[in-house]
A and B are shown apart, each in its own frame.
Chain A
């Protein structure tokens, strides 16, 4: 097993002593007097910048990459001025034991106070052996960290709902954070990856008010997922008038007509893409000519595919056979059989995680 806080730090005095030694080194490096050390110690333990532990599980790092594209705040301002990103495998300087020490330091010093971000799904099949970090499975790490966090943000559709690895036949029994964690508040910021605006908005809301923003019944903040894409798409007027692109590159496509017939899943998807857009250059997939793929919805890899076929059950002007569009996009693929096996695995994973730490939380 990997080192744990208990095994590496036998007594609190030693921890503090090594910490003071660290402050001395820093003071020397800064060329400031040792008289400053108590101030450094105070600053370090009072956490002027809220500590954040960012866990990577079954993921592609696309959510982290999306954060690199953010502008307000940009990544430098975020990690230098707003939060203290104490553990994040993609950007942190240390590796291996030194990296794990960074995590344990924060778990020890700021238990109950740090914000946890989870990126990626959690494999539960075969005791979770499909994702291991430092010798521990993703399930074991989540069981260790989640109960000690003040709140958890599940960034991306993988951490929120299992994501692509949970697509049928879900070979690794991948699930989202909420499937495993109870007792710590969890908010979902889905998308593949989500717009960094939605993630950062959630963080800033939490840091300002000390509570998570209001969510819908899928755990998503209303400020970012409260509206159906189809209802505030700039091409909606074309839909209502029955003007569609029939094929990529045709007259309608070149002139901004509705993309429903080339597969757009906007009628079944809730997100702010049309209003906040991406990368600060006033675009989103639909504005450039590709339909929405429904990436903020649970199980969209199964319910929204094939991506280039029309979403069924949508009231379309001029097309017969219509039903309620609220039911759109949920029943396309028959995945019930695969889901049964996965639910059994989730049960095991959940008992592992909740049985392993949530008890400690009052």
Chain B
């Protein structure tokens, strides 16, 4: 008999998210994803100075800090059809690169690892065997028996204190937890190290952006990071080399710890490789522009339909009509007034709350569609879109990661396993590594250009009378982000954001097709409906950016199960 579970709040994400699922025969048969918070930032932006929009928009999210800032300035620049100085392009690329490195590390360790890693099991690990296991995966110098013993003692002290803090009521001993104690201890040790390395990344970011979270060095028309090798009040060579050193330290962590850990979890949980494909329409937009006009990009964009790489259609640049014309949002199942499908330029944001009604309206998220189809976005989409276009670096890095998984698992796995919950994790780790390489490359480009005597960072925007429309695209850590702005006589007339988590976590549309979260949960095994760890695994694999909730309901929608986990 089917039973219904509601998980609210979904934790270890950004924002407030509720997931409902029908479970039958130990598997999820239907799921609903519901955003539980609305702030009205798009409404607040109306009538304001377009130059200010990025500072507001950045506050959409403090986890994906920087990404809305970047999309926003690009939207205004697109509306004005203005270019920015080459230095500004490089500085922005370094900013987005470092942010992605930090964000991906935090996602895997802080937000996801506890779905796969049993902290309590680590207590029964043998530190010497743990060192042997870790040594077989990587040359990371901190993988010593001494270090693992110290971490184990730390966990023991925590448990003995009786105050487990954020680890209390976790899914320790859950039947879906399969790692041997040594793998668990290794992962707990790396969890603690990840906290240090993500901080190093944020330090590199702060040197160039003034602070973070919420950087303060952008401007419509460029950046405000002053460049001057002959001043102590600007980015000079001492500052630039400090950034480089920090990025290189984090790069080593990504290559020697993050990537091998993800590959090991993928291999040790190989039974999970078939789960969680969901929507197989993928989309990414081009990013890391390498010229002032943003006509050429390091990372390509495009769409893939139905999981078939042969269907690839490129999205070539910020003005590509293939993207501009095909994005719409629908509110049939969203808590907004009416029942319409509109292009973001025409979009409205008039709230109308109805309680959770899965036949009617049930989420604060709108349902975006591309060419009338739901799309999955994120690092997996990003890499597949490049893979399909024969991007050499992407193919090399993806194949490298798959070889690592194959070696550890003892069976050969190909790119087809990427269409899964674990595939999204592998893709994210690969992307983190590639983005690090690009960050260092653009550091070199910036230094070269400064060396030529070019210190330009800003072109002053001019707002003509009349109406201008523009879109700001950014391939963010969570996927395709676009901000759509309509400017009237120098003021914001309309502002709509179509964000990665809207693409992925959005509700059904008028077409009644489930969004990517909803579709990917179908077929997920559920060992114990009272402890729905497996739902968290798949939802977390998308790196949700909402903030959330999880409860169990019966099929009539009443709460029937009161969970009192020990």
Contacts and interface: CB of A to CB of B under 8 A. Distances in A.
Partners in one complex: yes
Contacts of A43: 160-163
A284 B210 contact: yes
Interface stretch (A165-173, A211-219, A310-318): A165-173
A49 interface: yes
Interface residues of A, number: 110
A306 B52 contact: yes
B347 interface: no
B160 A164 contact: no
B565 A101 contact: yes
A135 B565 contact: no
A288 B168 contact: no
Interface string B531-566: 110001000000000011111100000010111111
User: Which of A21, A247, A288 is the most central at the interface, judged by chain B CB atoms within 10 Å of its CB?
Assistant: A288
A193 B58 CA distance: 11
A253 interface: yes
B232 interface: yes
Interface stretch (B38-46, B251-259, B438-446, B496-504): B38-46
Contact of A289 (B65, B225, B232): B225
A13 interface: no
Prevailing SS type, chain A contact patch: mixed
Interface stretch (A83-91, A181-189, A221-229, A323-331): A83-91
Contact of A74 (B163, B196, B205, B213): B196
Contact of B61 (A7, A41, A60): A60
B237 interface: no
A73 B478 CA distance: 30
B465 interface: no
Interface stretch (B8-16, B24-32, B129-137, B422-430): B8-16
A30 B160 contact: yes
Contact of B210 (A7, A253, A278): A278
A71 B195 CA distance: 10
Contacts of B80: none
A252 B550 CA distance: 54
A272 B492 CA distance: 33
Nearest to A98: B169
A168 B44 contact: yes
B212 A98 contact: no
A351 interface: no
User: Which of A97, A170, A309 is the most central at the interface, judged by chain B CB atoms within 10 Å of its CB?
Assistant: A97
Interface in A50-98: 51, 56, 58-66, 68-69, 71, 74-76, 79-80, 83-86, 88-98
B232 A256 contact: yes
Nearest to B170: A93
B11 A95 contact: yes
B168 A285 contact: no
Contacts of A9: 564
Interface residues of B, number: 117
Contact of B170 (A94, A170, A254, A280): A94
A279 B166 contact: no
B214 A192 contact: yes
Interface string B217-238: 1010111111110011111000
A249 interface: yes
A256 B44 contact: no
Interface stretch (B119-127, B366-374, B410-418): B119-127
Interface in B144-201: 154, 156, 158-173, 192, 195-196, 198-199
B154 A49 contact: no
Given A29-B123, A76-B192, A97-B562, A66 B55 contact: no
B37 A131 contact: yes
B96 interface: no
B59 A192 contact: yes
B471 interface: no
Contacts of B221: 248
Interface in A1-60: 2-3, 7-9, 18, 21-23, 25-26, 29-31, 40-41, 43-45, 47-49, 51, 56, 58-60
Contacts of A248: 219, 221-224, 226, 457-458
B210 A288 contact: yes
A256 B158 contact: no
B56 interface: yes
A254 B205 CA distance: 20
Contacts of A309: 49
A294 B39 CA distance: 21
A133 interface: yes
A51 B165 CA distance: 8
B36 A132 contact: yes
A116 to B, nearest CB: 15
5 closest cross-chain pairs (CB), A and B: A62-B62, A96-B550, A44-B162, A256-B233, A93-B170
Interface of A: 2-3, 7-9, 18, 21-23, 25-26, 29-31, 40-41, 43-45, 47-49, 51, 56, 58-66, 68-69, 71, 74-76, 79-80, 83-86, 88-99, 101-102, 105, 121, 123, 126, 129-135, 163-165, 167-172, 174, 192-193, 195, 235, 247-249, 253-256, 278-281, 283-290, 293, 301, 305-309
21 contacts: A26-B159, A51-B163, A65-B63, A68-B110, A68-B195, A92-B166, A92-B167, A93-B167, A94-B169, A95-B532, A134-B551, A135-B8, A165-B44, A192-B214, A248-B219, A254-B227, A255-B234, A256-B231, A279-B212, A290-B217, A307-B55
Given A94-B168, A249-B456, A307-B55, 6 more contacts: A29-B121, A60-B65, A91-B110, A97-B552, A281-B207, A307-B49
